[in-house]
Amino acid sequence: MVKLEYELRDGNHIPALGLGTWALRGSRCTYIVKRAIELGYKHIDTADAYGNHEEIGTVIKDFDRSTIFLTSKVRPRSLRYRDVIKDCNRSLRELGTSYLDLYLIHWPNESIPIQETLKAFNELVDEGKIRSMGVSNFAVHHLNNALQVEKQPITNNQVKFHPYDYDQELLDFCQKQNIVFTAYSPLGRARILHNQTIQEMAKKYNRTSAQICLRWCLQKGAVVIPKTSSEERLKENMDIFDWKITSEDMKTIDSPN
Ligand code: NAP
């Protein structure tokens, strides 16, 4: 069985399925985020760099905030202590919310000491502005550096992960450290959906290629955040919980043709 949500190292919970919102802007963004929440998505993934905080804010104000897990990310150029605090406060204003469920360092920036960035993140947790903190695009050596100086726990690493592009060693490291792993671009930006192995599996399981990729990520133990601008695909991408891929077929998908 795959999990519907994961417990983070700080005791909070993250839903295993979220809506990715990169490249969603304007009225399409508000429409899709609203429909997603109405359909049962409980987790929305955004970032300062996506330029859609205000659109998402106009949608979430009409729902019970406590039912939505909201993630945003601070840009790598803003990892100085003061910039993190300033950008987080601006993001909260844009999103029209008093807190983020999860705030991530979007990309590592080795020219700024991780201690300085984490000091700001720790304060944001202490002030209740972020419930959980995490990172994105961190390799094992970045994580090792961060774990050595963490006070509040680093709970999540969001990285590219799909059958054509994944780092099993990084996944194993995160799972050993109890850092929840989020798969971004889990559909390979739709470019892997015509792959022969994926299509054969889709036929075998009477599912779509997208569902095979998402289910493969879930069975690897990852949170998935597929993006779509289509209502039909929102529904399709949710239908990944009550069936499973055999361990033999998981191995076949591990190295698609
Ligand atoms: P993705 O989710 O792998 O793929 C999105 C593409 O797949 C879109 O072109 C979409 O087209 C299409 N698609 C969605 N569902 C489909 C379905 N059921 N059948 C066929 N095509 C489908 O790519 P992504 O947007 O790069 O990644 C997902 C999210 O991860 C992002 O939106 C963002 O929130 C996050 N992300 C994070 C980082 C980071 O650095 N942390 C980097 C990249 C992405 P339509 O819109 O036309 O449906």
pLDDT of residue 166: 95
Domain boundaries, the chain: 5-191+222-242
pLDDT of residue 257: 77
Nearest Cα residue to atom 16 of ligand 1: 233
* DSSP secondary structure string for all residues of 1-38: ---SEEE-TTS-EEESB-EE-TT--HHHHHHHHHHHHH
- Measured from the Cβ of residue 164, the count of other Cβ atoms closer than 10 Å reads 17
Class of domain 5-191+222-242: alpha beta
Residue 188 C-alpha to ligand 1 middle, in angstroms? 7
In the DSSP assignment, the letter for residue 239 is -
49 lines ligand 1 (CB under 6 A): no
Atom of ligand 1 nearest to the CA of 162: 3
Cα 223 vs. chain centroid, distance in angstroms?
Answer: 7
| Kind of pairing between the strands at 223-224 and 19-20 | unpaired
185 lines ligand 1 (CB under 6 A): yes
Atom of ligand 1 nearest to the CA of 46: 34
Q: Where do we find the tokens 């809506």?
A: 19
pLDDT of residue 98: 98
Provide the whole-model pTM.
Answer: 0.98
DSSP bridge pairs for 44:
19, 70
Which residues of the chain are modeled with pLDDT < 70? none
134 lines ligand 1 (CB under 6 A): no
